[in-house]
Amino acid sequence: MSDTTVLSRLPTSSPISFVSRSTASGRARRGTLTTPHGVVETPEFMPVGTQATVKALTPGDLKAAGVQILLANTYHLSLRPGHERIARLGGLHRFMAWDRPILTDSGGFQVFSLAHLRTVDDDGVTFASHLDGSRQRLTPERAIEIQEALGSDIAMALDQLVDDDAPPDEIEEALERTHAWAVRCLAARTRADQALFGILQGGVDERLRRRSVETLKALPFDGIAIGGLAVGGTKDQMAATLEVVADALGDDPRVRYLMGIGAPPDFFTAIERGVDLFDCVLPTRVARNGQLWTSKGQLNIRNARHLDEPGPVDPACACETCRDYSRAYLAHLFRAEELLAYRLSSIHNVTYTQTLLQQIRQALDDGSFGALREAVTGRYRERRREDR
């Protein structure tokens, strides 16, 4: 299908708006993203609610932590409970009792993570369901159909993600397929109230990344996502690739979303290179394993030294966990394998992450971004852990 055909079938105006301004910190931007379900100040991190829930947390917990927007997953929700059922029940916002913006992934990550259960061809992907083994077909058109039924504010084009260490011809083949699917996703969209983002691929190959940028820049997506940098490769490769992408995008005004990044030092690396949005399961996943992020560095609440500690996880944190409970109590909950441990630790890590992004936005406004970057990344670089 030609780009002209795609353009003729697009809504006449974008359902979102993004206004940004440059700052004194490299390519870093401060922005305001307006969606049908509210405004998002950027840079911002999106917690992942794969199956219409951020694990162990209620929407009230998320709002108390300062979450502005979250992510849910097309593939998983199409299998259970089914996108048709969610549509009948009023859409994803009503279904999960979340009245703020939602972005839905297309299922492209499952093309990578469930490689042992799928086959890929130029038309789409065939999965053997991880639930019951049934045959599931995901095409660009089907990915858009599912996301339109869910009713998210932002939908993602279907892409093919491969390992950075895959053979070069495999990376290039996946890139071309991603570009072809992007055009088909644009042609398939029908909802005027749902934005659609395209996804850049190309591994850490500068030539392929530039080709991907030039291809997507020419297509009328509402935003640009950067995929493929959270599945392998080094931090230096990620930074170098983001530099390439930022240079190739130039003054393109659309919102930029780096997929799958959630470690605090990585926020600074990406923001300095013009990234506006992030998502990752990391804050809640490590929380459920007892790793907590604090203003003084990381700590493992499972360590025995915390069993007699009456103070909070982080005196500088205002979350429910730090306000009402001691390290000793949380350490006890983990050792007793009580479910409350997961909720309290997740509340803390999500609050820490959202607070850090608030601090970053303030630092971009007042010119202290560099000092904040050194303070935060230093805690991880030096591995300053209170219980090491």
Q: CA angle at residue 193 from 55 to 274, to 5 degrees?
A: 65
Instruction: Give the C-alpha separation, 301 to 329, whole Å.
Output: 10
Structure token digits, residue 383 = 């591995």
Would residue 274 be called left, alpha or beta, if left means φ above 0 and alpha means ψ between -120 and 50 degrees?
A: left
Annotated active-site residue in 61, 153, 164, 279:
279
Structure token digits, residue 221 = 């997506």
Instruction: Give the C-alpha separation, 165 to 159, whole Å.
Output: 18
Active site residue 132: no
- Cβ burial, residue 293 (10 Å; 0-12/13-18/19+): buried
**3-state SS class at 375:** helix
Q: Measured in whole angstroms, how far is the alpha carbon of residue 290 from the centre of its chain?
A: 22
Instruction: Give the C-alpha separation, 287 to 138, whole Å.
Output: 32
Active site residue 163: no
Place of tokens 């691929």: 201
| Strand stretches in 296-374, DSSP E | 297-300
Annotated active-site residue in 105, 159, 164, 266:
105
| Strand stretches in 25-95, DSSP E | 29-35, 38-42, 44-47, 70-73
Q: Are 70 and 55 in contact (CB under 8 A)?
A: no
Place of tokens 């500690």: 309
Q: Are 181 and 161 in contact (CB under 8 A)?
A: no
Instruction: Give the C-alpha separation, 98 to 306, whole Å.
Output: 35
Q: Any idea what DSSP says for residue 48?
A: B
Structure token digits, residue 121 = 């061809």
Active site residue ranges: 105, 279
